[in-house]
Amino acid sequence: MSELWLIRHGETEWNRQRRVQGSVDIPLNEVGRQQADLLARRFIDEPCRIDAIVSSDLIRSSETAQAAAEVLGLPVALDAGLRERRYGIFEGLSFNDLALKFPSAAKAVRERCVNYNLEDGESLVVFQRRIFATLEAIARRYASQRVLVFTHSAVLDVVYRRLHGVALNHPERVRNPNVGINRIAVGPAGWSALQWGDVSHLEPEQPALIES
């Protein structure tokens, strides 16, 4: 059984502007760098041993990972399989512009049509399959180890749904804040949630949603 600590990257300017990032390589903004530093400081006194760090190869994720890596003295292994969902024609647009420019596509995405293929993008089903395969491979590669896995919001969404039996087309979703920590166990017997939504390094009084 491997323990994966899934961590969303820090804030970017496109996050602030509510623009669709997807596979576009956007760096952290000043707030995001501060968030990455606060996350990294957490690991100075972290009682749990961290064995490895893996990150999406998009810069907003790898920058966040690097701050923790410097504290822990570990290298960052990059894995393109951890990238955000590819949103194709939506990428770069504000959320307010989607329905104006691409009304039928925006409706399909809003209604979570799981097999809808975004132009130059990924359907929800294809995206989910990629993420599950990538995390299973990481768990096998680092068997019985504790790994920091730096990734993206939509990745956390599909993982949360698997852990809690929420259908892919269900509109409800959990909030996944920047640099929040979400701990899961992955092994031959399946996946289980250990803790979700830990932002105590940002908000000391904020409890995690799930605590084992």
Residue whose entry in the numeric block shows the structure tokens 């990734």? 151
Query: Residues 21-45: pLDDT tens digits?
Result: 999 999 999 999 999 999 999 999 8
User: How many residues appear in the chain?
Assistant: 212
- Which pTM does this prediction carry? 0.94
Query: Residues 109-147: pLDDT tens digits?
Result: 889 999 998 889 999 999 999 999 999 999 999 999 999
Query: Residues 163-211: pLDDT tens digits?
Result: 999 999 998 778 899 999 999 999 999 999 999 999 999 977 566 666 5
Question: Which of the residues are catalytic?
Answer: 9, 84
> Could you tell me the residue ranges of all domains in the chain?
2-86+123-211
- Look up the CATH architecture of domain 2-86+123-211: 3-Layer(aba) Sandwich (3.40)
Distance (Å, rounded) from C-alpha 192 to C-alpha 190?
Answer: 7
Instruction: Lay out the sheet containing 2-8: strands in order across.
Output: 76-78, 52-55, 146-151, 2-8, 181-187, 190-198, 210-211
Q: Please report which confidence band the pLDDT of residue 212 belongs to, taking 50, 70 and 90 as the band edges.
A: very low
Decide if 45 contacts 208 (C-beta within 8 A). no
